[in-house]
Amino acid sequence: MPQNQVNTIRGIRNQGQDVPVVAFYSVSGGVGKSTLARKFAELVTVAPGLGGQKPNVLLIDLDVESSGLTFRLAKGLGRNCRTVHEIIAERNVAAAQAMTVTTQVSLASGNLPNRGQLYLMPAAPPEAKKLFDTIAEIDRSELYGILLDMINALVIQYNIACVVIDCAPGANPYTAAAATLASFPFLVGRNETTTYEQIRLLPERFREWYDQFQPAKQRVIINAVSVKELYDERAKQYAVFDYIPLTSDVIHVTEGLPHTETLQMLLFEKYIVDIIKQVFVGMNHLIPEAPEVVGQEWIETLYKLEHCEEAPKVRHLRNVSRLRWVGAVIVLIGIALIGSHRVFENLPAKLADIGIPVTIAGVAIAAAGWYAESNRQRILTAARDLVFGGAEGIFRKLKAGATDRKALDEMKRVASTIRGTSRR
């Protein structure tokens, strides 16, 4: 077999199920690749899973030179397993282990108790030496085999349903091997010329190591898109798979919403879930459902809004709305006073003078009542629409615009005042 050819027929399976491997790589650093890999892995742990068990996910930090993901996830937990660098350097797949980092999961919805485990295979120990020597010395076919065998061993050991690999930026043997064995290789970039120029070039560099890498399998995600029109033009030209907007531009701090950063992260995670849906076609057990992603707080809000009539504000508006009829009666009295002198000549003329302000007052009181009723109906309609739309409806409003997000915030505040209707 030529040096740049490897056997890529072997798939990764666990308990009769295919285990997808998702690899994230980039042209350069600083494009949000590691964040995407981490969020992708974290979100899959809240998917339905099979047999009532949420999916366990293995996250591999293959960026042995910087180990940024390892530092962020394993910080404070202590290193209690061998790293990718050590396994490859020692050619010792039997020693492969992963560490549990489920407690480090950080989703906008909170660390849900009902979720699968997130396991991390660290990149390299901080004191590791000769990282480049290890890469340079290992045969590419052997490297591919070690990486594949290591993943297979960890999948069985930890009952893994999905594997996510965070690769080093650029093209190196580790990244090329991961992209080749991955079921779904993702190139992550920014909406800039450098990324688009490398969409075709990077796969060719991977093929210098592995002929079996299929450029057609590569899917491109453009992250932190700010100028959507510029993205649209380039996306058509380069067949981009999907994009994620710069959420700080979508939900801006000037909107004055509470917990703006949480809403931005919730929207960011929703875009990743949409990508997961497009990727895992036919694997519904690995696709997070909207209620799990939006979080218990919003689900509780939706449940409370089913009883929106009980909200103090709505009850107050209902009471005020009765002024419609009070005002109408006063208007009739005022009109009667105005016309009384003409009908009954013996009545004093100043009754008509009194009737004018009485009529005006009645109109004002009735208007206040109608305004209150209109406001009450607006709140009830918005609550019904939100309940009907469910968790997906919340996401649609988050994406829609500032007006919709402010309406969403109002509904949350209304729900927070409803007592005695919490879901158990």
* Amino acid 67: pLDDT: 82
200, part of any domain: yes
- The total number of structural domains in the chain stands at 2
1, part of any domain: no
* Amino acid 309: pLDDT: 95
Helix, strand, coil percent content, the chain, rounded in steps of 5: 55, 10, 30
* Amino acid 8: pLDDT: 45
How large a percentage of the chain has pLDDT more than 90?
A: 66
Whether 30 and 117 share a structural domain: yes
- DSSP states of 28-40 as a string? SSSSSHHHHHHHH
* Amino acid 9: pLDDT: 43
* Amino acid 135: pLDDT: 79
- Residue finishing a domain among 245, 263, 293: 293
Whether 268 and 310 share a structural domain: no
4, part of any domain: no
Whether 196 and 142 share a structural domain: yes
Whether 283 and 315 share a structural domain: no
134 and 91 Cβ atoms separated by less than 8 Å:
no
408, part of any domain: yes
Whether 253 and 192 share a structural domain: yes
178, part of any domain: yes
134, part of any domain: yes
Give the whole-angstrom CA distance, residue 69 versus residue 91.
Answer: 23
**What torsion, rounded to 10 degrees, do the Cα atoms 338, 344, 347, 353 define?**
10
* Amino acid 343: pLDDT: 62
- Burial degree of 215 (CB within 10 A; 0-12, 13-18, 19+): middle
* Amino acid 277: pLDDT: 96
- Residue finishing a domain among 269, 293, 317: 293
> Structural domain of residue 196, as residue ranges?
13-293
Give the whole-angstrom CA distance, residue 119 versus residue 95.
Answer: 16
Q: What's the pTM value of the predicted model, to 2 decimals? A: 0.89
* Amino acid 337: pLDDT: 81
Low-confidence ranges of the chain (pLDDT < 50): 1, 8-9
* Amino acid 227: pLDDT: 83
Whether 119 and 23 share a structural domain: yes
